[in-house]
Amino acid sequence: MESRASAFWVRFKANRWAYTFTILATLTVGILVGTIVSSGVKGKEGQKSSDATPLTIPSPQQLSNQFSQISKQLEPSVVNINTESTIKSPQQRRRVRPPQGGQDDQGGGDDDQGGGFQDFFDRFFGGQGGDGGNIRQRSLGSGVIVDAKGYIVTNRHVVEKADRIRVKLQDEPPATPGHDAKVIGMDQETDLAVIKIETDRPLPVAKMGNSDGMEVGDWVLAIGSPFGLQETVTAGIVSAKGRNIVPNRQFQSFIQTDAAINPGNSGGPLVNMAGEVIGINTAILTETSSYAGVGFAMPSNTVAQVYNQLIGPDHRVSRGSVGIEFAAQPNPAIARIYGAGVTVSNVVAGSPAETAGLKIGDTITSVDGKELKSGDELVADIAARKPGSKAKINFVRNGKKQETTVTIADRSKLFASRLGDEEENQGAEEPKPSKTGLTVRAITPDLADRLNIPAGKGVVVQDVKQGSFAEDVGLNRGDVILEVNKQPVNGPDDFTKIESSLKSGQDMVFLVRPRGSRAQDGTIFLAGTLP
C-alpha cells in the first residue's frame, strides 16, 4: 500500500500540470452535469421554482474616481530621468598601495565612496560589479516639474556624477530620446537636486502642498518610473512623520509611507488627495532592494526651502550653525540631571560656540528669547539664519542661568569633514584637474586637527582623473599631500606652482598622509616619472 502511494506521488509530481488541468476539467464537467440534471427536478413539494427572481448585473459605474483624477492631473508633470556615468570598478576605487617602511601595511584605508548616507542608497539602487576597467553605468529615476520653464526637482543621488542626464516627458512617444538636462544645484544634506531642460513650450507644473498638514493615516499616491515603467501610480497612507533613518543627518526628517516605492521611483512626487506634492520619494527600507512596505519621502516644506536656494545666484544651500552637538533623541534622564532644554554634548574646536564660551554640559534654553522644546527646534532656528548674523543664547550651567551672543557660521564649512571631508560647493567655480590628473583643495581646520597636521599645511586630493599619472602612482581621493619633491605644499597655490615647474621625463615624489590614516600611522611616499 505504501509503495502504491509513493508511486502515485512520483507520477503526480512528474505530471502535475496534467493532473491540475484534469482535476479542473473534471470539476467543470461535474458542475455542468449537475446543472443539467437539476434543471428538470421538481422541488420537495413537487412544485417548480418559477417564483425565483432572476439575477441582474447593474450598468458599470465608477464608485470612486478620486485616485484616477489625481493621477491624470499629476502625471503630465512627472518625468522619467535617465543618466549615464562612468565609474571605476571596486578594485580601482580601493587601490592597494605598496608596502612602505618595511611594514606590512596596505595603506589605502576607506573607500572613497564611504559614508552612511551614500552606503544607504548604494544598497537601495545596487551597483554594477566588475574586475577592472571602466563601467558604463545607466540609472533610472523620476522627477517632478515645478516651473513651466523646465525646472525639475529630483534626488541628488539620481543625477550626481552623471556624464549625461536625459529627461523624457509624459506626452512624448516611447522612442523619443528625451531632453538633455543640466544640473542647477544639489544639496548633500537633504539629497535633493534641481535640474533644467530647454523646451519650446511651457511645461505642465505640479502644485506644491504643505507637508505639515499631513497626518498619519492620510491617503497618498506615489508617482514615478519604478524599474523604468513610466507613469506608474501606487497608493498608500502616511504611516509615520518625522522619521530619521540616517544617523547624524539633521535635515533628513522623512514622511514614511506604505505606498509602493521601488528603484526608479526616486525623485518622483508623493501626492495628497488634493493633488498637491507633499514629498519627494527618496528611499525605501528593504533587505531585497525592492519594495517591502516602508518608503520615505522628503517633506515638501523642506523641498521648497532647498529649491529656493538652489535656484539662487550661488546655486547652493547655505545653513547657519554655531558648532555644537547634542543627543539626537530627547532623553528624560539628561533633562533631570542637566535641566530642560538642549544639552551640549560637544563643542567644535574654533567654532562660534567655543568663541562665545559655551561648554559641554551647558543646557541651551532659548535663542533670542524664544524658548526651545527640542534639539530639532534649535537646529531649524539656527540653520535658517544667515552666516555672519548674531544670536543671543540663554543657557544653564551648573544650575545657574547665563547668556551669551554667538556669530552664526556657515554649516557646510564648519562641518566640512563630517560631510565628506569637502562639502560640495555647488555654483562656485570648481578646481580643474592638473596635468598630473589631480584636483586638490585646501585642508579645513577641522580636518587638520583630526589628522594632527599644522594649520595651513598640505592639500587634500578631491579627485583623481582616470588613467592619469596621479592614478598610476597610487594617489586616491581623500589623500593629503604634504610635500612634492622635498618642497612643502602649504596650499593649492603651492601645489600648482611646484607642479607647473616640472616637465615630461622628470621624477615626481609625493609625501602623502593616506586617507583615513591617523597621525601615528605616519606618511608614505608615492612616486613616478612624468610622461
Domain ranges, ordered by start, for the chain: 2-31, 67-312, 320-414, 438-529
More confident residue, 401 or 515: 401
Helix, strand, coil shares of the chain as percentages rounded to 5? 25, 30, 45
The per-residue pLDDT for 209 is 93
The most confident of the ranges 7-16, 239-248, 483-492 is 483-492
The answer to whether residues 323 and 348 touch, using CB atoms and an 8 Å cutoff, is: yes
Q: Is pLDDT at 345 greater than 60 in this prediction? A: yes
Q: Residue 253 has what pLDDT?
A: 81
Residue 435 has pLDDT above 60, yes or no: yes
Give the long-range contacts of residues 228-232, CB within 8 A, separation 24 or more: 228/80, 228/140, 228/264, 229/264, 230/80, 230/168, 230/170, 231/75, 231/78, 231/170, 232/265
CATH topology of domain 67-312: Thrombin, subunit H (2.40.10)
Q: Is 440 exposed, middle or buried (0-12, 13-18, 19+ CB in 10 A)?
A: buried
Residue 423: pLDDT band (50, 70, 90) is very low
Q: pLDDT-derived band of residue 21, with 50, 70 and 90 as boundaries?
A: very low
φ/ψ of 97, rounded to 5, equals -90, 150
Assess whether pLDDT exceeds 90 at residue 2: no
* Percentage of the chain exceeding pLDDT 90: 31
Average pLDDT over residues 7-35: 39
Q: What is the average per-residue pLDDT within 224-240?
A: 89
Share of the chain above pLDDT 70, in %: 74
In sequence order, the β-bridge partners of residue 484 are 487, 510
User: Parallel, antiparallel, or unpaired for β 276-284 and 207-208?
Assistant: parallel
Of 430 and 448, the structure prediction assigns the larger pLDDT to: 448
pLDDT of residue 422: 42
Is the CB of residue 484 less than 8 Å from the CB of residue 507? no
The answer for 87, left when phi > 0, alpha when psi is -120 to 50, beta otherwise, is beta
Alpha helix (H) ranges present in 245-396?
300-310, 332-338, 352-355, 375-383
Q: Give me the pLDDT at residue 87, please.
A: 60
User: 393-407, 410-424, 513-527: which range is least confident on average?
Assistant: 410-424
Of residues 115, 138, 109, the one with CA closest to residue 126: 138
Residue 150, all three cell numbers: 523646465
Q: What is the DSSP string of 318-358?
A: --EE-SEE--SS--HHHHHHH-SSEE--EE-TTSHHHHTT-
Query: Where residue 12 falls among pLDDT bands split at 50, 70, 90?
Result: very low
Does 480 score more than 70 pLDDT?
Answer: yes
Give the integer Cα–Cα distance in Å for 472 and 470. 5
64 pLDDT tier (thresholds 50, 70, 90): low
SS3 at position 482: strand
Residue-averaged pLDDT of the chain? 77
pLDDT value of residue 137:
63
Residue range 87-110, pLDDT digits in tens: 655 444 444 444 333 433 333 333
Res 93: pLDDT: 44
Q: Is residue 243 within 8 Å of 329, Cβ to Cβ?
A: no
Kindly tell me if the per-residue pLDDT of 115 is higher than 90: no
- Tell me the mean pLDDT in the region 173-202: 90
Q: So which residues are the catalytic ones?
A: 157, 191, 266
Q: Residue 249 — pLDDT band, cuts 50, 70, 90?
A: low
Q: From CA 168, how far away is CA 180, in angstroms rounded?
A: 9
Model pLDDT, residue 521:
61
Long-range interactions of 425-431: CB distance < 8 A, separation 24+: 425/316, 426/185, 426/186, 426/187, 426/310, 426/314, 426/315, 426/316, 427/185, 427/313, 427/314, 427/315, 427/316, 428/314, 428/316, 431/462, 431/492
Of 2-11, 154-163, 386-395, 489-498, give the lowest mean pLDDT range. Answer: 2-11
Which pLDDT score, from 0 to 100, does residue 240 have? Answer: 92
User: Residue 32 and residue 230: Cα distance in Å, rounded?
Assistant: 45
Distance CA 426, CA 444 (A): 17
Average pLDDT over residues 145-168: 92
Please give the pLDDT value at position 11: 46
| Residue corresponding to grid cell 556624477 | 161
251 neighbors 384 (Cβ within 8 angstroms): no
Superfamily for 320-414?
A: PDZ domain (2.30.42.10)
Residues making up the chain, counted from first to last: 531
CB atoms inside a 10 Å sphere around CB 84: 13
**Residue 355: is it exposed, middle or buried by C-beta count within 10 angstroms (0-12/13-18/19+)?**
middle
pLDDT average, residue stretch 229-249: 82
Question: Are both 67-312 and 320-414 of the same fold?
Answer: no
Q: How many CB atoms lie within 10 A of CB 290?
A: 14
Name the burial class of residue 510, with classes exposed (0-12), middle (13-18) and buried (19+) by CB atoms within 10 angstroms of its CB.
buried
Q: What CATH fold (topology level) applies to the domain 438-529?
A: Pdz3 Domain (2.30.42)
- Amino acid identity of residue 523, one-letter, is T
- Cβ-contact 390, 440 below 8 angstroms: no
Using DSSP, state whether 483 is helix, strand or coil. Answer: strand
Give the pLDDT confidence score for residue 112 in this predicted structure: 39
Confidence of residue 519 (pLDDT cuts 50, 70, 90): low
In 3D space, the residue among 276, 278, 296 whose CA is nearest the CA of residue 286 turns out to be: 296
DSSP-based three-state secondary structure for 93: helix
Q: For residue 7, is pLDDT > 90?
A: no
Which three cell numbers mark 116?
Answer: 552612511
Residue 296's beta-bridge partner residues? Answer: 256, 283
Q: What was the pLDDT predicted at 263?
A: 85
Instruction: Report, as an integer, the average pLDDT of 153-176.
Output: 88
